[in-house]
Amino acid sequence: MILASIFVCFCLASAFNYFRQRRQRGFVVNLKGPFTWPLMGAMHKIVLLTPNNFFQRSADYLAKYGAFSRCWVFHRLFIPVADWELAQQLLHSESHLETGHELMSDWLGEGVLMCQPEHWPQRHQQLAALSSPDNLLQLTKLFQQQAVQLCQQLEAYAATRQLFDVWQPVSGNVLDLMLATSCGMQPSEQYKQAFTDLIEIYRKRFLSIKSANRFTFWLASPLMRRRQQRLIRILNDENKQMLGKWRQQQLIESQLKSEGITIDRIEPASKLQHQTLLEVLLSGGKLSDTELCAELNTCNYLGYLLCSSTLCFTLVLIARHPAVQQRCLEELRNARSSEDWQLQRLPYLDAVLRESLRLQPPQLIVGRQLSQDFNYTHSLVGNGALPAGAEVYINLYELQRSEPQYGNQAHLFQPERFLAQPPQLLSFGLGPRSCPARELSLSLLKALLAPLLLQFELLPYGDAMRPNLRLALGSRNGFQLALQPREAIETKTID
Ligand code: HEM
């Protein structure tokens, strides 16, 4: 009875929304689509979409319906896009900025991804300030310290030359780095466990129709929902404790200053030199504690998943391309022998990272929720409008493998393409809402990658990766890697 009533309500809402959108001027004029029938629409296509079949099904879908199409699921109108012209226009638009991250709203609801449009520009700017050139220089030192730890952990694997999944050591170190970057304090083991458990819950919820929105999740998975809320509480309680400690420290420092005692004499070498995200946010304006927690959570979540995924894909790609590895090594050895050795001056390693990001963009889909019509001009299909209420999903994976854009070897790993005349890279998004931590991420990735390549040879063993989509781009069979220490190789050559 309850289910039947819910179904009837859904149908009425769907019909209402469908006719409301149809009446609007320029209704998806030039789009083809699997169905125009509003109630069920192409629901079967969405219901049958899973993290593992995402790539095959989305490629089939694109082959059948073209690079942009419409797809109704009940009352929701989805517009999957793999068309460069349309994607660029939408991403550069100053008036279509809503991203619609409904899935994560319980955790990140008050953060930059979902905050009110009027608060968004200031929040975005504050996050970008974290990557100011001076701060980035200091952060890079922090990243380099962490790289030493990562290499130490990898020594045990290198001693055996056996295949292992590099996700575990890489993601653990990236998480430590993100937490140090965001709050500058060492969170408890319970915090880290809660963080990774929560990500697992969201990974399960992603692309699962029964937990697509709050209501169906609450109805279909009450236990999982309770656990999710408990984990969010653990994280936010500790975030607030860190905030309290930080404020207390500030108070003591200002009292000491007013008494004429300099901080350096009391707290010398241990103080980190970089400005943390928390400090940037606190210095920038009045955010409530809830908003501060959401902002820390947002950056920890994005940084952890996206940087870990990029680093793992890059390591495996380098391992499977020995010529690329050799060129990286030569560049690193030359750079290290020069007096002012700087990570920023490694053009080939930079190109390797960009090429890896092109082929395996960790955030595969960029979404925009249209709160007003979006008028586009298109050289092939003409002009048109996407209606308010539609959800547009831009598929970066397909776009960055398009032959017209990257040539007929677009599917190959060729870092050289980013050297002479670098093509456009969409992996960090484009336009006003693009990733505010682009430079920070590239520095972090280079800082972790460079010493690792100098210390270990990445061996070309292991199965091909089988990409899947679980929140971020991942691999179904893990990131299989084998290493051997470079000293061992060099000794052998001398022998
Ligand atoms: C390789 C690493 C990364 C990649 C590929 C990446 C990619 C992206 C993409 C595609 C977007 C969405 C752009 C859009 O909607 O138009 C985004 C937004 C964002 N990223 Fe990153 N990101 C990375 C690392 C990071 C890190 C380390 C942080 C935090 C320190 C971060 C913080 C953010 C934030 C806060 C946003 C939302 C900005 C807004 O909505 O205004 N990202 N990122």
Q: Start-end ranges of CATH 1.10.630.10 in the chain? A: 133-184+294-361+410-495
Superfamily per CATH, domain 133-184+294-361+410-495: Cytochrome P450 (1.10.630.10)
Q: What's the confidence (pLDDT) of residue 97? A: 86
> Left, alpha or beta for 391 (phi > 0: left; psi -120 to 50: alpha)?
beta
Q: Which residue has the tokens 């992603």?
A: 206
Candidate from 306, 357, 370 with most ligand 1 atoms within 8 A of CB, to mutate = 306
Alpha helices in 24-97 (DSSP H): 43-47, 54-65, 84-92
Ligand 1 nearest atom to the CA of residue 445, by list position? 1
Cα(438) to centroid of ligand 1, in Å? 7
99 lines ligand 1 (CB under 6 A): yes
302 lines ligand 1 (CB under 6 A): yes
Ligand 1 nearest atom to the CA of residue 440, by list position? 27
382 phi, psi to nearest 5 deg: 85, -165
Bridging pattern class, strands 456-459 and 480-485: antiparallel
91 lines ligand 1 (CB under 6 A): yes
Instruction: Read off the amino acid at residue 314.
Output: T
Axis-axis angle for helices 167-182, 133-160 (nearest 10)? 160
427 lines ligand 1 (CB under 6 A): yes
Please check if 183 is assigned to a binding site. Answer: no
Q: Which residue has the tokens 């998975």?
A: 221
C-alpha to C-alpha distance for 385 and 383, rounded to whole angstroms: 7
Q: What's the confidence (pLDDT) of residue 25? A: 40
C-alpha to C-alpha distance for 399 and 309, rounded to whole angstroms: 19
Q: Report the SS3 class of residue 367.
A: strand
pTM above 0.85, yes or no: yes
Ligand 1 nearest atom to the CA of residue 91, by list position? 16
Instruction: Read off the amino acid at residue 488.
Output: A
307 lines ligand 1 (CB under 6 A): yes
Cα(457) to centroid of ligand 1, in Å? 31
The residues of the chain scoring below 70 in pLDDT are 1-47, 212, 261-272, 339-341, 488-495
